[in-house]
Amino acid sequence: MTPLRPHRAATLALPALLLFASLALAVQTKTAAAIDLAISHWMEHHGQPWLTRLLFWVTDAHQPIGILLLGAVLLAWLWRRGERRWCALVIAAVPGGMLLNVLLKWTFQRARPEFGEPLVHLLTYSFPSGHTLGATVFYGVLAVYLRQHARNPTARAALAVAALGMVLLVALSRLYLGAHYPTDVLAGMAEGCAWLTICMTVISNWRSPRPAGAPSKSS
């Protein structure tokens, strides 16, 4: 795993943290309520049967249990390859990020959107989106790992685009099905980016203890 230097991490995490803070403030002060409702109602009135079926499949596949299963498969694959630091990253980023998301939901306690004919009925809180957070950290870890092992610049760009595309697709499914407001899914992405960056910074720079009797670099 290539170490992620603190100054580089700051350029990645700080914008995400600022975006999350701005969205949280907008939710708390209700300054984003009008645009949230406008986009949500537009989605409600422009549904298509084929798109509904597709996005139900996407959202079901990325429920917390689905993300945990995908994370477990990735963890097993990395373990077989001897990638211990990457295994630690999966554990910290995916289940850890999901736990953080639950804590944030209970902190903000934002109610779910309400529609005349809702496609989903949920009793949990809305901000930030847990599905979007899960997709961000899972596909983020996978894309970064594959990108560090890809030698072709075109392949690296394609991996980044594919990961972003999956995250946006999950976010769209939550908006389309009426499970979240736009600010919820944006906050989920921001939370995921910041959390993944923090986890990568700590784990990639962690120095493994030297076995007893092993010579130091200076000897």
133 touches 188 (CB < 8 A): yes
What's phi and psi for 113, nearest 5 deg?
Answer: -60, 150
Of 7, 41, 45, 131, the catalytic one is 131
Active-site residue flag, 180: yes
Rounded CA separation 80/57 (Å): 30
Hey, how many other C-beta atoms are within 10 angstroms of the C-beta on 207? 5
Identify the CA nearest to 183 among candidates 124, 118, 108. Answer: 108
The C-alpha angle with vertex 135 and arms to 65 and 9, in degrees rounded to 5, equals 130
- In angstroms, the first-to-last Cα distance of the chain is 25
Rounded CA separation 24/93 (Å): 21
Of 41, 62, 121, 180, the catalytic one is 180
Active-site residue flag, 62: no
Rounded CA separation 214/20 (Å): 45
The whole-angstrom distance between residue 134's C-alpha and the CA centroid of its chain comes to: 4
Rounded CA separation 128/180 (Å): 9
Positions annotated as catalytic residues are 131, 180
